Structure 1
């Protein structure tokens, strides 16, 4: 029933100004609009996320969201050049020179934002 509707991600932030600086300067996102103390960002395919203020940011030990990308390694290099630090999880699979893990039909890399949220880049292989 709900699959015919778009789904959007929420990204929690303890400090929205700090999180905006991370996402806009390091990740390169452009805000669409400010809403109720937060900010919305749009992505390909009509998808979007909402960065919102909450004291619960960074409490999940799982990924908050992921970007489906064409070339994880190229994006790792580009984001590292902008100051994004990638996580190094001990998990099975082959590692690329950039640090991405390939296993289970996907190549993936993870980073934490300024609020401690885990975000991922995923490439189908």
Structure 2
């Protein structure tokens, strides 16, 4: 039923203006639609990221959105770090080493960061 339908990620935030700055300026996402009040729609690859205002922002303790960064992951991490983004480190993950801010597991590179509301965003390269 849904296998041929598009999907998108959705992230709750407390402050829509702060989120607009983070997702647009810091992450560099293209704003596709801002005409729905406290809801922003960003273009991200072939999908969309929807950001909306909610009193429950940041309560999710799992990944909220994931980007496949391919061979550009190190460059993307360096760019985000230069913009002041800090990254999460998980030293206890079995079979994973940490090189700077990048977790390495065999051929996979994994990076986690949080938006201003604490939503966990994940970057991968496999």
Whether the TM-score (by the shorter chain) exceeds 0.5 is yes
The Cα offsets for residues 72-121 of structure 1, whole Å up to 9 and x where unpaired, read as 2221111101111111122231222x321122753110000011100010
Q: Does 2:39 align with 1:48?
A: no
SS in 2 for 1:57: coil
Matched, 1:81 2:82: yes
1:20: which partner in 2? Answer: 20
TM-score (norm 1): 0.89
Q: What is the alpha-carbon distance in structure 2 between the residues aligned to residue 16 and residue 115 of structure 1?
A: 10
The worse-fitting range, judged by mean Cα deviation, of 66-75 and 49-58 is: 66-75
Check the 8 A contact 1:27/1:84 in 2, yes or no.
no
Map 1:1-125 to 2 at 5 A: 1-34=1-34, 35-45=36-46, 47-70=47-70, 71-90=72-91, 91-92=93-94, 93-96=96-99, 98-103=100-105, 106-124=108-126
Normalising by the residue count of structure 2, what TM-score does the alignment of the two structures yield?
0.89
Unaligned runs of 5+ in 1: none
Q: 2-side partners of 1:107 and 1:74: how far apart?
A: 12
Q: State the 4+ residue runs in structure 1 displaced beyond 4 angstroms.
A: none
Give deviations 1:14-60, integer Å, cap 9, x for gaps. Answer: 11111111111211122111124211001212x00110010111111
